[in-house]
Every structure is written in structure tokens, then in C-alpha cells.
Amino acid sequence: MRHVISVKVENRAGVLARVAGLFSARGYNIDSLAVSQTEQEDVSVMTIVVRGDDRIIEQVKKQLNKLIDVIKVSDHSEYPSIQRELALVKVNAQPAKRSEVYQIAGIFRAEIVDISLKTVTLELTGEPERIDNFIELLRPYSIKELIRTGRISMSKE
Amino acid sequence: MIKWIGFFIFPEVRLELDKKRRTGRTAVKMTGAEIIIESLKKEGVEHIFGYPGGAVIPIFHQLFDAPFNFYLARHEQGAVHAADGYARASGRVGVVIATSGPGATNLVTGIATAYMDSVPLVLFTGQVSTEMIGNDAFQEADITGITRPISKHNYLVQRVDDLARIIKESFYIASTGRPGPVVVDVPVDVSRAETKFAYPEQVNLRSYKPVYKGHPLQISKACKLIEQSKRPVIYSGGGVISSNASAELREFVKKTGIPITTTLMGMGAYPETDPLSLKMLGMHGTCYANQAVHDSDLLIAIGARFDDRVTGKISEFIPEARVIHIDIDPSSVSKNVQVDIPIVGDCRQILAEINKMVKAPDIGEWIDYLQKLKVENPLTYKDSGSRIKPQHVVERIYALTGGKAVICTEVGQNQMWAAQFFEYSEPRSFISSGGLGTMGFGFPAAIGAQIARPDRRVIDIAGDGSIQMNIQELIVAVQHRLPVIIAILNNGFLGMVRQWQQLFYDKRYSHTCINFQPDFVKLAEAYGAEGIRVEKKEEVDAAIERALSITDRPIIIDFRVDREENVYPMVPAGKTIKDTITRELL
């Protein structure tokens, strides 16, 4: 099962390497990893999407907690949270097909951020599952380039 | 008056006075190197192990007249194992100083050894100056990167202002919670830079707060389970030793009458001479310990981590048992075996709480059954009239020291025989690389143990393979007049690998025959140590007695033992107790 784990860490050199090293050393699979600042200057947050059965997820959380620089580990799969991701998709869109691409973008409320003679680049922010759907619909038009930020997650009050 | 004379005559007296003047005031300016010395004093450090080099010259400059006993190893690996042996024997933090690059990388095996066995060490490594880091400078190695997965924590000190706090944190992290090694990488310009020194009174780490007190509800649940059990067994590990819980463990056994087996790391926490002791379990554990654990309905794991060398095939390890697991490391709980009642915290505190309320279960039948197993399946070997059996040597060392020695081991057959044929009765009297299985650990560790325990004879039970991995440290023992005894069980083989080749690889002894070896007696003499060779069984006792009579230098005894003796019983890797090999396969 897929779990979204939010890890608050000390904002120090080497912390990312510690966390990433833990995953590779113990053979855990990361789907995505996003690191950013928080409201506190000396704290960073990592949102890690990891797959595994209950025992593996339990170990992932315990091992993360064991790292000295980790302040708090919370599993956002266990309670309500807001999850977002941003994607940039560069689609092959010849003039004849362009209006169809625009329509899909319109339905998803994606933004057109760049246009060239042969391509359109779209930006979409939303729940990762919504981005999955968006990308699936764009596939027939041939995607030239795709990039996603990885999921970020905040627990609901 | 005398001081004043000294002032003119001896420069070191002047230095000392100088320093006193400087450290007398609060928050005086000091160099990074001076801060290291002062911080180590504040931590109560007495002994330091290490080796100098370019990037740590400023630190060694200060060490020159610092009030520590410094032990100059002959290889950095020797230094870290010695510090490790010192820490295991004393329960205190071991301290190491080595230089950058190769000095630091030579520590790596020792750091990993200490990490796997949860031994508290603080290791200072030199580093190239901050502006050169990442530049492939001379003797540069990214030691914080290298040691990240094999240390409890590590620091690269980037500003001299952080140094005192980092040292304070390092000692705290190394020695609290589940102990482990902490590396402090100090660039040479940080050692030279000056700042105001004030050693922090307290550590304030919001991200590191080990739990010591066990949850009361879990403790009362555990007591209930213990009282209702019919076939309980205690499985006690290294955590009992490192938390100094031996007395509480003994009281627990006394109150409940529950039989106890220990891991390799846990030996000595409970006297093996006691009828309730089942000795060691696992791959080369006693048949009765393994059978007891297998047949149990309640396994009480204390400071142990269900290592694969203990469990064998995990699905058949404890088919009928419920599990209570006491451990300070939450990540050890339910890692390999699903636990019914986890109690996270300090073994000593939790056992003390349990002892207050636990009632003895009714297990007379179970005890009778186990006593019968013990009588029917003793640890044994086929003795010989003339040839020296390695087990016999260990038994004689036990007898002639009255079981009062501190035993260190190398890794392999020597380690297992030392575990099997010596009866350990005191915590910290058996020192061995359990988790990493580091050959070459035992002798330098014995040097550290002898420094920690001048009141006890320290004996390294070695193999002819392992001893050659850190033999250079012999000169350290000679220099410091440490009467460590090295008992080489010399079979001319890398015996444990040869045993596996014999049993599982068609007797193809690929590169395990090492009878092309130095003359260990002459080698001892070349170093200024005592060398004794023993080729006949009847000479064994006299050799051990002679070694024990020497108290001012190390002694090597080269026991020429039966070459193809094997360690039994043996549960092959990943197998079950049904597959136990108890004697030679014909």
C-alpha cells in the first residue's frame, strides 16, 4: 500500500542524505520525495511517498524517527490531509489538434504556460490522482516532456 | 617557589601555568584544538586512543601536555577497536582521535563494529580546511558521508563556535538511548580558529529524546502474561549489559524461576553456572536453549533484537510463543518477529518495575523437562588423549582463571568455542564482535579492556587467521606493560569458513588453508612480548599457568590444536532446530 509520510527535520547539511540513504540502505521504495521550507526557519519538511506492507511502513517510520535530525514523523495516510502536486506537461500539439488539448486543459483548469509552433506546455496543480488522470488524457497527443514536483501534504485541522 | 623554579627550567610547567591562567576565567578565548581538550576533560575522559596526522596536528599539539593517558595505536583500526574494548569493559564512552583521509577511513570497520553492537564511542577525525572541502585535497575523504550509515550520528564542524556544543551532544548521543558511535569531523582550520569557550551545561535536542521509563500499562500486561505462562523462557541480549541491568535481571529470574538463555552479546548478565541458565542460543547455541525457545509459550526478550543468527528460519523460530519484548530501540520491536507486548525503554528501569509486581508462574513441569534436556544434550566434544582440542584449551583457561578473566575473542570458530566452553558469570566479562563479526577485533579490544580493568586478566581467545589482522598492536601492549594473553587456537585454517566448506561446499577448502604462517613465538619475542608454543595436550596447563604468572608484558600462546575440529551444535543458516548438526556427518 502507498503511504504519504511527512517528516519534519532539522534544516541542516546532510539531512537529505541521511533520509535518502536510509531508504536505499534498507531497500525501501520511494515513489516521490519533496523537500521544502516550513514556517520555522530551522525546520524543513520532507513529504515521502513510499510503498510497502504494514510491517515495512512501520519500520520506515521507526527508522526515520531514529535519525537524530528527525523531529517528527507523521503518516498522512492515517488521517485527513490536503495533498497537492504540480506538473508541467509539454504536449505535441499541431495546430489541428491544438483546440482539443486546450479543451482538456480547460476542463482540468490547467494553465497554458508556453506555446510554440509544435507544442503546448501546460501547468496543473492539484491532487496527485487528478494529475494522473490529466496526463492519461494527454497521452494520445504524445507527451514530449513531463515533470512533477512530487506530492506535498498538510494535515487538516 | 618550586613552581617558579619550574617556570624557568621546564617549559611544560610554564605551558601548564599559562593554560591555568587562561582557563581560570569564564568564556576565555581558545582555539578549536584547546576546546576539544577542555571538553574532553569536562566529560571526565581518562584514556584516548588514536594516531596523529597532518589534519590533527593542532589537536595533538594540545594533547602533548594534556592530562589524558594517550595510547598510540599502530594502525587506526587498532585504536578504534581498543576504544571499543575499553567502552565495553568499562561501560564508559571510548574516545578516538585520527587524522583525515586514510586515518579516518581506517576507522570505518571499527565504527561499523561498534555501531552493530551498540557501543558508545566518540571519534574525532581531522578534515582538510573548510575552504578545501570538496576539492579532492590531499588526504581528503568525505568521512561524514562514509560513516553516515554506520554511525549513530555524525557531525562536520563548520564553525569553531559550534565545537563545544557538538562535543557535548556527541557524548550525550553516544551514551544515551541505544548507545553507538558518533563521529566528529574537525577541519584543520576549525582546530586553529579561536572563539570564546564555555562548555554547555545541558544538551537540548528537540529531535532526540530517548524513552527510558516503560509504559506502566504494558508492564502490568506483561506481568499478567508471565504469571499465566506455562512454558516461559527469557531471551536476554546485549541491551541488558549496556543498560547495566544484570542485577535486576538476576532478581527477575530469582522471583519468577523462569529459565534464561542469552545471546552472544548478552553473556555474563546471568551466571551460566546457575541451573536456570540455558547458556547461549542460536546457530551455535546449546541444543537445550534452542529447544526451550522453540517449545516455549512465552518468550521474554530483553535487550535483544531477534538476529538471524539467533532465530534461524524465522517462521519456525517460536511457533507457539507469545512475545514480550523490552528494548530501548523502538525500531528493534516487531522488526523480525511480531511482538505481542512491546515495552520500549531502559531494560534496567523496566525490569525493576516488573520485579515490583510480578508473581512466579507455576512451571515445575517445564523446568523438569528442560533439566532433562540439559542432561541429555550437553555441550560436548570428543576429547583426545594426545592432540589438543581447542575446546579443551578454553575449558582449561576457564579452570585456571577460576572463571574470573575478561575474555575477548576474534571471530570464527575461536569465538564460538570461547562462548561455549567458558562459563560467564559477570557482565562485561565477554567482549566480542557479535553483529559485524569483525576479524582482528579481539586483540586490540583486549588492550582496551585491560586498560579498563587493570584488576583482571584479559585473555584474547584468537584464531591464527584473525590474530594476524591486527597483530601490529602487540607493540602497544608491550609499551604500556599490559599483560594481555593471546591464546591462539592455531589450526592453520580459517576454521569457520573451512567448516562451512566441509559441510556445505563438498570439502573444497578454497583459500582457507593458512598453515603458511609466521612463527608466533619468535614474533612475540621480536616485539618484546612472551611467546609460548604448545604442541602436546599435557603442556596446556603449564603454558596457561606460565602466562598467568607474567604481569608486565603481553603473552602469545600458540596452541597447535586439532586442525579439523568443528563447532557443534550447529543450526545451518536459515534452517530450523530440526536441522541441527550435533556431530560429524559420516
Neighbours of A94 (CB within 10 A): 12
Task: State the smallest CA–CA distance between residue A55 and chain B in angstroms.
Answer: 8
Contact A68 B148 (CB under 8 A): no
- The topology (CATH level 3) of A2-75 is Alpha-Beta Plaits (3.30.70)
What DSSP letter does each residue of chain A carry, written as one string? -EEEEEEEEE--TTHHHHHHHHHHHTTPEEEEEEEEE-SSTTEEEEEEEEE--HHHHHHHHHHHHHSTTEEEEEETTSS-EEEEEEEEEEEE--HHHHHHHHHHHHHHTPEEEEE-SSEEEEEEEE-HHHHHHHHHHHGGG-EEEEEE---EEEE--
Q: Report the pLDDT averaged over residues A80-88.
A: 96
Same fold, A2-75 and A82-155: yes
Q: What is the pLDDT of residue B7?
A: 46
Low-confidence ranges of chain B (pLDDT < 70): 1-27, 584-586
Please give the pLDDT value at position A95. 86
C-alpha dist (Å) from residue B282 to B165, B220, B292, B311, B379: 42, 29, 11, 6, 13
Interface of chain B toward chain A, CB-CB under 8 angstroms: 144-145, 148-149, 152-153, 156, 158, 173, 205-208, 329-331, 333-335
Determine the pLDDT at residue A79. 87
Write down the pTM of the prediction: 0.93
State the ipTM, two decimals: 0.91
Q: Which residues of A fall within a CB distance of 8 Å from B116? A: none
Question: Please, are residues B282 and B264 in contact by the beta-carbon 8 Å criterion?
Answer: yes
Domain boundaries of chain A, sorted by first residue: 2-75, 82-155
> What SS3 class is residue B423?
coil
pLDDT for position B22: 53
The two counts, helices (H) then strands (E), for chain B are: 24, 20
DSSP class per residue in B183-224: EEEEEHHHHH-EEE----SS---TT-----SPPHHHHHHHHH
Residue with cell 498538510: A154
| The three-state (H, E, C) secondary structure of B525-568, written as one string | HHHCCEEEEECCHHHHHHHHHHHHHCCCCCEEEEEEECCCCCCC
Taking alpha carbons only, the member of B430, B429, B425, B431 closest to residue B272 is B425
Q: Which residue of B has its CA nearest to A21?
A: B149
SS3 B407: strand
Q: How many CB pairs under 8 A join A and B?
A: 38
Chain B touched by A66 (CB under 8 Å): yes
Task: Summarize pLDDT for A116-147 with one digit per residue, the tens.
Answer: 999 999 999 999 999 999 999 999 999 999 99
Kindly report the average pLDDT of chain A as a whole number: 94
A94: pLDDT confidence band, cut at 50, 70 and 90?
confident
For residue A62, the chain B residues in CB contact (below 8 A) are 330-331, 333
Verify whether the Cβ–Cβ distance A21 to B206 is below 8 Å: no
Contact A18 B148 (CB under 8 A): yes
pLDDT at B524: 98
Query: Which residues make Cβ contacts (< 8 Å) with residue B332, sequence separation at least 6?
Result: B178, B305, B306, B325
Residues of A in contact with B206 (CB under 8 A): 71
Residues above pLDDT 90, as percent of chain A: 87
Q: Determine whether the interchain pair B335/A59 forms a contact, defined as Cβ–Cβ distance below 8 Å.
A: yes
* Residues of chain A positioned with their CB less than 8 A from the CB of B144: 14
Chain A residues within an 8 Å CB radius of B207: 9-10, 68-71
Give the SS3 label for residue B376.
Answer: helix
- Collapsed DSSP state (helix, strand, coil) of residue B338: coil
- B45 vs B506: CA distance, rounded Å: 52
Task: Determine the residue of chain B that is closest to A59 in CA distance.
Answer: B331
Most B CBs within 10 A among A8, A64, A66, A67, hence the mutation to make, goes to A66
What are the residues facing A32 on neighbouring strands?
A49
Q: Which of B524, B430, B516, B538 is nearest to B483 (CA)?
A: B524
**What pLDDT shows up at residue B385?**
86
**Chain B within 8 Å of A96 (Cβ-Cβ)?**
no
Residue type, B527: Y
The pLDDT value recorded for residue A6 is: 96
The answer to whether the CB atoms of A68 and B205 lie below 8 A apart is yes
| Domains contained in chain B, CATH given | 2-196 (3.40.50.970), 216-376 (3.40.50.1220), 390-568 (3.40.50.970)
A12 to chain B, any CB pair closer than 8 A? The answer is: no
pLDDT at site B73: 98
Q: What is the pLDDT of residue B233?
A: 98
Q: Which CATH superfamily is domain A82-155 in?
A: ACT-like. Chain A, domain 2 (3.30.70.1150)
Cell digits for B575? 534452517
pLDDT for B289: 97
Structure confidence by residue, pLDDT tens digits, B462-474:
999 999 999 999 9
pLDDT tens across B176-190, in order?
A: 999 999 999 999 999
The C-alpha of B255 sits at a distance from chain A's nearest C-alpha, in angstroms, of 34
DSSP state letter for B509? -
Whether A9 and B207 lie within 8 Å, measured CB to CB: yes
Instruction: List all residues 6 or more positions away from A95 whose beta carbon is below 8 Å from its beta carbon.
Output: none
B148, B205, B331 member nearest A62 (Cβ): B331
